[in-house]
Amino acid sequence: MLKRIGILSFILLNIGCDQISKDLVRKNIEPMQYVQLVNDNFILTNVENTGAMLGFGSDLSPILKMIFLQGLPLIVLLVLLARMLQKSNLNRWMVLAFTFVIGGGIGNLIDRIAYGSVTDFFQIKWGVFRTGIFNMADVSVTVGVLLLLFLVFRYRNLSI
């Protein structure tokens, strides 16, 4: 029971950080405004992304968007969450990684369902390195996936 509360708490923490940061951006940054936080290296903006990562799928019909950007991700996230809550012998780092992925995924799903788009607002530029515009949910998913990759390569017998 305590494990389940911990899992749900970490997921809610990820969702909360994402939704609060997006709400602050929507209320305080005009669409397409360009705010330099650290010179020209760390930029704050406000962009509504109607697709997935880097705008993928933004040209899909509304029904296909609903299927591929809302329905399927929701099913996958719920299956992952159910598996995590059911299993008792999961590696705690694996659980942490999945809480980041699930929390970030749900954060972006909330936007897609509530607003029809995802609010993105961070961009990093460092020399030739330049990211797309992203949000805290994207950071959560990325951290979770990187941790999962590390764990899979480090401990080959992990499963979920």
- Of the CA atoms within 13 Å of residue 132, those in its CB half-sphere come to 14
Structure tokens belonging to residue 12: 């809610």
Query: Which residue type sits at 159?
Result: S
> What pLDDT is attached to residue 159?
59
Q: In this structure, how many other beta carbons lie within 10 angstroms of the beta carbon of residue 150?
A: 12
DSSP three-state, residue 155: coil
Report strand pairing: 118-126 vs 35-38.
unpaired
| Whether the Cβ atoms of residue 80 and residue 98 lie closer than 8 Å to each other | yes
**What is the per-residue pLDDT for 54?**
65
Catalytic, 40? Answer: no
Residue 155 has a pLDDT of 80
Strand order in the sheet with 129-130: 35-38, 42-49, 118-126, 129-130
What single DSSP character describes residue 118?
A: E
| Tokens, residue 47 | 């962009």
Of the listed 23, 40, 59, 120, which one is catalytic?
A: 120
Query: Which residue in 23, 40, 111, 138 is the catalytic one?
Result: 138
Q: Chunked in runs of 10, what are the mean pLDDT values of the chain (160 residues)?
A: 90 98 97 91 94 77 86 94 88 93 97 95 93 96 96 76
Element (H, E) at 38: strand 35-38
Q: Which two tokens stand for residue 55?
A: 């705008």
- 138 in catalytic set: yes
User: What is d(CA 12, CA 6) in angstroms, rounded to the nearest whole number?
Assistant: 10
Q: Model's pTM, two decimal places?
A: 0.90
Given this model, what pLDDT does residue 59 score? 83
